[in-house]
Amino acid sequence: MTRLVTTLALLAMALTVATPAHAASVDVSCTGTETATYQPGLTLRAKNVHTAVSGLLSPCTSPTTDITSGSYGQTFQATLSCDTLAAGLDATRVIHWSDGSTSAFAYHRAITNAAGQTTVTFAGTITAGRFRGATAVEQAIFVTPNVTQCLTSGGLTALGPGPVVLTVNHL
């Protein structure tokens, strides 16, 4: 747990380091949690799976808005297995902000597993709504799933909750 907290703290510092005037400026920065569930659970055999992802972004800070929090939910069907879970994915999620506005975040997802942690990185742009045209990066960190869950009949049914950091920047 200490390694997870340290990793999240370092990630937050890296995303909020001061930048020169001509570089990107932070529109909003948030920490929070994300959870993903899979029904039926993931096994070693690929099958059609209903995936639900939910995120709570709180607290958020912004030098130019009154946004204090956000949330998102995303559901989709995909052919998945424990082996394909780490594959890249291009998708869009809508973030609902505490001021009533929304942002459509179009991203590419990449997953890495190292030292007992699964790091999921979502990198892309805000394509509609609040902060349109800005770049965004979100990272979620989970304890790497126990592979033996993939061998059971019920399979791997969830990742998380795990801590997340989201930063939205504009040039």
Q: What pLDDT is recorded for position 23?
A: 62
Instruction: Say which residues have a Cβ less than 8 Å from residue 64's Cβ, sequence separation at least 6.
Output: 27
Question: In this structure, are residues 137 and 24 in contact, taking their beta carbons and an 8 Å threshold?
Answer: no
Q: Residue 36's closest CA among 166, 157, 122, 164?
A: 157
Question: In this structure, are residues 77 and 50 in contact, taking their beta carbons and an 8 Å threshold?
Answer: yes
> Distance between CA atoms of 113 and 35, rounded to whole angstroms?
17
- In this prediction, residues 44-56 reach a mean pLDDT of 95
Domain count, the chain: 1
Which stretch of 4-8, 38-42, 72-76, 116-120 has the lowest confidence by average pLDDT?
4-8
71 or 148: which leads in pLDDT: 71
> Distance between CA atoms of 117 and 140, rounded to whole angstroms?
10
Q: What percent of the chain has pLDDT over 70?
A: 86
pLDDT digits (tens, 9 = 90+) for 115-171: 889 899 999 999 999 999 999 999 999 988 888 899 999 999 999 999 999 999 997
pLDDT at residue 17 is higher than 80? no
- The overall average pLDDT reported for the chain is 86
- In this prediction, residues 84-98 reach a mean pLDDT of 91
pLDDT at residue 19 is higher than 90? no
Provide the domain limits for residue 155: 2-170
pTM listed for this prediction: 0.83
